[in-house]
Amino acid sequence: MRIPSKRALLPVAAATCAVTQLAAQTDSRPNILYIMSDDHAYQAISAYGDPVGLLAPTPNIDRIARQGMRFDQAFVENSLSAPSRACLITGLYSHQNGQRQLAEGIDTTKTYFSELLQQAGYQTALIGKWHLVSQPTGFDHYDILVGQGEYYNPTFIHQDGTRSKEEGYCTNVITDKAIDWIEHRDQNKPFILFVHHKACHRDWLPELKYLREYEDQTFPLPSNFWDQWEGRLAAQQQEMTIASPHDMDIIYDTKMYLPGDSSRLSGSYVSLVERLDEKRKKEYWTFYDSLSCDFKRRHLEGKDLVEYKFQRYMRDYAKVTRSLDDNVGRLMDYLRQAGLLDNTLFVYTSDQGFYMGEHGWFDKRFMYEESLNTPLLMRLPEGLKRRGVVDEMVQNIDYAPTFLDLAGAPIPQDLQGESLLPLLREEQGPKKWRDAIYYHFYEYPAEHMVKRHYGIRTERYKLIHFYNDIDAWELYDLQTDPQEMHNIYGQEETEKITRQLMKRLHRLERQYDVPSL
């Protein structure tokens, strides 16, 4: 059901009354548990079958896929945290919700779908990373991290504006708070709970019980790890290369230093470790001191040093995702024990994808596959029949209309996403679905120096335009070049498909009301 305008509050309120009463009578509308991690690559989830995930399995996240669905084409609109979160909460593209870059504020005059769900009689709660500059609105309860948050003994901002440092590992603490809120909610109403983890964001500080995990594991280098980005000007100018001492710092990122040397203290990550209590701090430093001694003894150089950095990155990342996976399992088990699981839409996703060494990189931002895609798995409430692998293209602007639709609440007409309910309802997906998506990244100049760009991705092709202080087009045939190593823009054989894609791109720009540059 679509309503004419988001700000036409009268019709919304009128429609809401009926829905609320219905809810009070039947109390049967499904709950929504939306778990979103940070920077979790689908390549690191075993349900996706990629090498990192298979070497460091995620059995609990995999359960969602086994009992529900795995989306293989789940895209973000702007591969960065705050912009992604703004797309989620408003159902609008960055140019409409105002949050184009990290520091730019979301347009607070836009309605958050949490407000609409509240009006529709849902209880709404948010725990964990929020990352938008303004405080959350439309939540009966929230407890959020400060900015990016801290892994160890994180500080939370509570709803009354006070702050407190809480003991424990961030991923566990967030889950404790989530379970506590579910336990104390009003049991007569359905709920939506957003559980937003800090994990597995840089700089990958593990839960201490997993410090020693994966240390014997050797992760294979992706086949395009030594990519030199030929024919891809913007890629040549980024600053997110594992090999680069500037981009991936040996102390800050890989935690290698000369023990006993004050250089350890120059790493700004040290202050994050210092949040631990004395006993745990000692445990942490003892472990990384011994690795650092070993590193020092080896005198690594050149490719050996780069491969060593890659292994450290993979191992610490895998440790952090291990706790994430445990906690997804905890929440699922809790819901099952509480008898809530079968009437809950259980969602696991990340704010965007991440590079696990593909093209030689870490971080995200680019419209290339690893960061345009994000993991998405859903376990459906009873009554929705779809299962297995879903190939339809979905995007993070689709959550708002989907959740409103599931709640039986009106969907404002100007939301730019689509409700996914038609995809979820039947065993077979609908015959007609979107066959192209629009992407736009704005955060430049900034950390990692990825140029501004926008583009279109269809089932088979991707056309990208890098602009601002560069003017470069790229075209990829994903069928013959899934790793996007060969830019085929500007070749005689690709002129026709380029023209067609340009036309489609302009159509999308008109459809989404994208302002001209």
Rounded least distance, CB 452 to Ca ion, Å: 18
- Total residues contacting ligand SGN (rule CB under 6 A)? 11
Cα dihedral sign, 449-439-364-197: positive
Binding status of residue 363 toward ligand SGN by CB under 6 A:
yes
Q: Which residue of this chain has its Cβ atom nearest to Ca ion in the complex?
A: 81
Token pair of 335 as six digits: 């819901």
In the complex with Ca ion, which residue's Cβ is closer, 227 or 351? 351
Rounded least distance, CB 354 to ligand SGN, Å: 9
Contacted by 137, from Ca ion, ligand SGN, none: CB < 5 to 8 Å by type: none
Q: Which residues contact 363 (CB under 8 A, 6 or more apart)?
A: 202, 240, 354, 355, 371, 448
Binding status of residue 309 toward ligand SGN by CB under 6 A:
no
Encoded one letter per residue, x for contact with ligand SGN by CB under 6 A and - for no contact, window 145-184 reads ---x------------------------------------
Q: Of these, 304, 447, 469, 513, which contacts ligand SGN (CB under 6 A)?
A: 447
Contacted by 363, from Ca ion, ligand SGN, none: CB < 5 to 8 Å by type: ligand SGN
Asked if residue 88 lies in contact with residue 399, where contact means CB atoms within 8 angstroms, the answer is yes
Other CB atoms within 10 A of residue 301 CB: 8
Other CB atoms within 10 A of residue 335 CB: 20
Q: d(Cα 158, Cα 373) in Å, to the nearest integer?
A: 32
Rounded least distance, CB 39 to ligand SGN, Å: 5
Candidates 63-71, 197-205, 227-235, 340-348 — which segment interacts with ligand SGN by CB under 6 A?
Answer: 197-205
- In the region spanning residues 132 to 151, those forming contacts with ligand SGN, defined by CB under 6 A, are 148
Secondary structure of 227-262 in HEC code, one letter for each residue: CCCCCCHHHHCCCCECCCCCCCCCCCCCCCCCCCCC
Residues 130/134/138/139 CA torsion (nearest 10 deg): 50
In the complex with Ca ion, which residue's Cβ is closer, 351 or 474? 351
In the complex with ligand SGN, which residue's Cβ is closer, 67 or 155? 155
Q: Which residue has the tokens 């701090």?
A: 281
In the complex with ligand SGN, which residue's Cβ is closer, 201 or 232? 201
Q: Of these, 43, 60, 78, 81, which contacts ligand SGN (CB under 6 A)?
A: 81
Binding status of residue 80 toward ligand SGN by CB under 6 A:
yes
Asked if residue 475 lies in contact with residue 390, where contact means CB atoms within 8 angstroms, the answer is no
What letters, b where the CB count within 10 A reaches 16 and e where it falls short, cover 136-150?
A: bebbbbbbbbebebb
User: Quick one: how far is CA 114 from the chain centroid?
Assistant: 19
Binding status of residue 448 toward ligand SGN by CB under 6 A:
yes
Residue type for position 116: L
Rounded least distance, CB 492 to ligand SGN, Å: 38
Rounded least distance, CB 254 to ligand SGN, Å: 13
In the complex with ligand SGN, which residue's Cβ is closer, 36 or 345? 36
Asked if residue 366 lies in contact with residue 450, where contact means CB atoms within 8 angstroms, the answer is yes
Candidates 152-160, 199-207, 313-321, 488-496 — which segment interacts with ligand SGN by CB under 6 A?
Answer: 199-207
Rounded least distance, CB 149 to ligand SGN, Å: 10
Closest CA to 116 of 398, 417, 407, 380: 407
Rounded least distance, CB 354 to Ca ion, Å: 8
Q: Of these, 3, 6, 30, 38, which contacts ligand SGN (CB under 6 A)?
A: 38
- Looking only at the bridges linking them, the beta strands covering 74-75 and 394-395 are parallel
Binding site for ligand SGN (CB under 6 A): 38-39, 80-81, 148, 201-203, 363, 447-448
